[in-house]
Amino acid sequence: MTLAEPKPEADGYTPRIVTRIDGAVGWMIVSNPRRRNAVTFDMWRQIPAAIAGFMDDEAVHVIAIRGDGEDAFISGADISEFGRLRSTPEQVAAYDRVGREAHAAISGAAKPTVAVIRTWCVGGGLGTALGCDLRIAAADTRFAIPAARLGLGYRYPGIKTLVDVVGPANAAEIFYTARKYDAEEALRMGLINRILPVDGFDAAAAEYLAAIAANAPLTIRAAKLAIRGTLDRPAPEQQAAIDAAVQACFESEDYAEGRAAFAQKRKPVFKGR
């Protein structure tokens, strides 16, 4: 499977989405190790084609998503691009549309999807993992959604997915505190399905995926449809209020302060406006 070639950076380094097929497992690898596999705008755009390729290949029974290397799963969106790509309402809308298309490709895949997580799983990276059916993680993994430290607004679908997985109380704590959780805490709240040992992680993950891939694909597909069918959506007026609150985040002084503090590696000072 081949994807459109992304543009390299000035020094020739190229963040990208890499795909490979190993037996009945289709691997989508988020490759930006210089930034703990932060996802660039170009990488978000590559994800739908990667998932579509696996869906078209009858030999692929399960789709696995992981980060490149051992330092991180996905650390979220590449915030270093935000000043250039998310500075106006129009830019935010365009960026969010591409992000929604990427997440919809993952969450809408008819085949089972598994997030294979190592070391760090933060922000949008955790959102990507939550879009998968299952999440397995190394014992030393840390999880966080630091939106409240950056002034970011999270769209309703991402919040609802988190609530569906861990419940409203745990989701509230994750967002309100913006703190890091270890793998044991993540397992207890249902954020992940299984903890795998650090030593021998790849082999353990391969065994887990092989067990799924060996089962009847049509049975799993029917079960996935039924499980996803139990999820509901808010009334239109509720959705409108949520969207307005999120938009206010991106138009706020706090959002500008959060980006500036991140770039300057300092603690932000938020004013609620």
Reported as a pLDDT band with limits 50, 70 and 90, residue 1 is: very low
| CA nearest to 23, candidates 174, 188, 212, 197 | 212
pLDDT at 47 over 90: yes
- Confidence (pLDDT) at 78: 84
| CA nearest to 24, candidates 50, 56, 60 | 60
Section 74-86 average pLDDT:
82
pLDDT at 182 over 60: yes
| H, E, C per residue of 89-101 | HHHHHHHHHHHHH
Helices (H), ranges, 122-252: 124-130, 156-166, 168-177, 183-188, 201-213, 217-229, 236-250
Instruction: Kindly list the structural domains of the chain, giving each domain's residue range(s) and its CATH number in brackets, ordered by start.
Output: 16-199+219-229 (3.90.226.10)
Model pLDDT for residues 200-259, shown as the tens digit of each residue: 999 999 999 999 999 988 888 888 888 877 776 656 666 676 677 677 777 787 777 777
Dihedral angle sign, alpha carbons of residues 159, 162, 166, 170: negative
- Rounded Cα distance between 157 and 101, Å, is 12
Model pLDDT for residues 138-147, shown as the tens digit of each residue: 999 999 998 8
Q: Could you tell me the CA-to-CA distances from 50 to 64, 97, 101 in Å, in that order?
A: 11, 17, 12
Residue 196 φ then ψ, to 5°: -115, 150
Q: Are 129 and 117 in contact (CB under 8 A)?
A: yes
Supply the pTM of this predicted model.
0.81
- Confidence (pLDDT) at 142: 95
pLDDT at 168 over 70: yes
Longest dimension (CA), the chain: 54
Residues in the chain: 273
